[in-house]
């Protein structure tokens, strides 16, 4: 029986020695920070062209995380690769031979990769915030303002949870191509498009990305957005429920199906 510390160390070795997982985390950081700063600069330069309602509900903290729209895609790729690559390469059989306890294998993998994703997510959110506020100048805010620190920490948690959610989905689907083929279009296009459809948005607002992203808002109904039936932490709780369901689903598939 493999010990948990040994399995955790093994999973850490797998992640840090595979260049693709390292580069996806670097991409998540760079894309999120760069896009956040770029959008902040654009909004600052064209602020007078915004509508009156948008100016009144301007949220400099939320603007900092504009890059999360693309950065989360890199987190999805990271999460899928961590789990799905073992299936596509056939290494899952070797891993299960070394660690017959399937729950120990999966949860150790998700623990190591999830902690790493959360650390990178928090680093990304803080750097994005400080750089974007510097770009916004007098229109910016600071960590001491009400609810700003909550939003910055929440943005980092959001990115980490997206990665963990993707790990669970990859464990259920057992194919990195299929997992990415579903998750990336969903988070990039489908969720955002349906969120603008009058009747669909009442359901879509409870999807993981729509609910979780509320934690990044400091100003209610920021930039003219629709009011939400739940608050920032309730939205994060909804997202966490999705993550738990995905991970549990991945565990059940791994437990009950042959490798």
Separation between Cα atoms, residue 258 and residue 256, nearest integer Å: 7
Separation between Cα atoms, residue 149 and residue 158, nearest integer Å: 14
Q: Is the torsion defined by CA of 170, 185, 42, 152 positive or negative?
A: negative
206 closest CA partner among 184, 231, 239? 239
* Radius of gyration for the alpha carbons in the chain, expressed in angstroms and rounded: 19
8-37 pLDDT, tens per residue? 998 898 888 888 889 999 999 999 999 999
Separation between Cα atoms, residue 56 and residue 130, nearest integer Å: 22
Q: Stretch 120-147: mean pLDDT, rounded?
A: 95
Burial of 138 per CB tally in 10 Å (0-12, 13-18, 19+): exposed
148-166 pLDDT, tens per residue? 999 999 999 999 999 999 9
CB 102 within 8 A of CB 257: no
pTM to 2 decimal places: 0.93
Separation between Cα atoms, residue 170 and residue 181, nearest integer Å: 11
Q: What is the pLDDT of residue 183?
A: 95
Task: Measure CA 221 to chain center.
Answer: 22
At residue 220, φ and ψ (nearest 5 deg) are -60, 140
Question: What is the domain partition of the chain in residue ranges?
Answer: 4-256
Q: What is the pLDDT of residue 1?
A: 56
Q: Stretch 211-217: mean pLDDT, rounded?
A: 94
């Amino acid at each position: 029986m493999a010990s948990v510390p040994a399995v955790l160390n093994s999973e850490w070795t797998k992640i840090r020695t595979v260049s693709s997982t390292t580069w996806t985390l670097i991409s998540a950081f760079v894309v999120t920070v760069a896009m956040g700063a770029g959008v902040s600069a654009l909004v600052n330069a064209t602020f007078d062209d915004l509508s009156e309602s948008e100016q009144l509900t301007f949220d400099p903290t939320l603007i900092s995380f504009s890059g999360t729209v693309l950065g989360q895609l890199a987190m999805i790729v990271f999460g899928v690769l961590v789990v799905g690559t073992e299936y596509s390469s056939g290494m899952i059989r070797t891993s299960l031979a070394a660690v017959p306890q399937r729950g120990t294998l999966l949860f150790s993998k998700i623990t190591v990769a999830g902690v790493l994703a959360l650390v990178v997510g928090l680093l990304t959110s803080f750097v994005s915030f400080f750089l974007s506020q510097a770009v916004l100048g007098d229109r910016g805010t600071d960590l001491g303002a009400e609810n700003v620190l909550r939003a910055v920490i929440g943005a980092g948690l959001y990115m980490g949870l997206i990665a963990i959610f993707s790990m669970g989905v990859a464990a259920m689907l057992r194919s990195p191509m299929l997992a990415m083929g579903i998750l990336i279009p969903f988070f990039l296009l489908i969720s955002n498009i349906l969120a603008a459809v009058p009747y669909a948005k009442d359901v879509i607002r409870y999807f993981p990305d729509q609910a979780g992203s509320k934690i990044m808002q400091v100003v209610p109904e920021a930039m003219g957005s629709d009011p939400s039936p739940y608050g920032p932490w309730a939205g994060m709780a909804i997202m966490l429920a999705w993550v738990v369901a995905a991970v549990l689903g991945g565990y059940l598939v791994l437990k009950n199906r042959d490798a």
